[in-house]
Structure 1
Amino acid sequence: MLQDLIEAGFGNKEDLNCAEKILYGANEAYHLGLSPEALKLSAGFGGGMAIGSVCGALTASIMVLSHLFVKNNAHASPVIKDLSQELFTAYEQEMGDIHCTPLKDKHRTPELKCQKVIAKAAEILDTIVRREREKGTLQ
């Protein structure tokens, strides 16, 4: 699914940032049907919102979860808060942090850039989406 796309270099040719790779890739992998204008909303989240804060791959993953599991708004969704927390907790356990700067320091390489960081977010997102689809909780 999404992890396979990311590991195959999805978005490299287009020079997408971490958040864009997740949202654009999820649009393809999960058949979200997002418009080009909606996809552009992820642009400013790359590089931890350009200040090294929460990794853009994670913030875009929350965008994907919101699209899939929120019908009207967050307060009306019985699962978005729990799924978001699950994503962040699992990611931090696997990667040691959720913030861009320490993740880059630990995992970024000149050759692959942040591919490992993005692929891990995609892997966890795939796991959540697959499980919730099987349970029938998608909106």
Structure 2
Amino acid sequence: MNKKANYIKGQLNCAESIIDSFNKNNNTNIPVALGSGMGSGVTIGSLCGAINAAVLVIGYLKGRENHLEENKAKVLSNQLLKEIKLKYGSELCISLKKSEISCHEIVDFTYEKLENILNENKE
């Protein structure tokens, strides 16, 4: 089954869409509200909200609870960012928009990479 993001402009923002889609596709219950302030590059064109939310999902699933544990989330987040920068040259919302990358495209690509990274790193 090919899991997809469900981004519809004007409904959930890009970050909320990543979390909501992940929940629906994977039977998780990560609070969608965590992504509410991340849209439009945390409202100032900074780190793309979709990417930010994907990192949040990685942290939720692979994060550590204390300094004695291995930080798997950091490694997987780095992998995600490298793949996005390789494809688009930037992870910043403002740069993506200037390059005419639509929110729909970056949400779809980020979500696909998120699912791939997590599937490759199942325990």
Tell whether the structures are fold-level matches, with TM greater than 0.5: yes
**Normalising by the residue count of structure 1, what TM-score does the alignment of the two structures yield?**
0.78
CA 1:95–1:73 in structure 2 vs 1: closer, same or farther (change >3 Å)? farther
After superposition, the CA RMSD in angstroms is 2.1
CA 1:47–1:74 in structure 2 vs 1: closer, same or farther (change >3 Å)? farther
CA 1:5–1:123 in structure 2 vs 1: closer, same or farther (change >3 Å)? closer
Aligned length: 123
- Matched ranges for 1:27-106 at <5 A: 27-34=23-30, 38-73=31-66, 76-106=69-99
After superposing on structure 2, the runs of 4+ consecutive aligned residues of structure 1 that deviate more than 3 Å are none
Hey, what's the Cα distance between the residues in 1 that align with 2:50 and 2:67?
Answer: 20
Q: Secondary structure at the match of 1:5?
A: coil
- Decide whether the 8 Å contact of 1:17 with 1:46 is kept in 2: yes
Structure 2: gaps spanning 5 or more residues: none
**2:15 counterpart (16, 19, 27):** 19
**1:121 counterpart (95, 98, 110):** 110
Structure 1 residue 76 displacement after superposition: 2.7
Q: Secondary structure at the match of 1:89?
A: helix
Structure 1 residue 14 displacement after superposition: 6.5
More helix by share: 1
Structure 1: gaps spanning 5 or more residues: none
Kindly provide the amino acid, as one letter, of the partner of residue 115 in structure 1.
H
**Normalising by the residue count of structure 2, what TM-score does the alignment of the two structures yield?**
0.88
CA 1:123–1:73 in structure 2 vs 1: closer, same or farther (change >3 Å)? farther
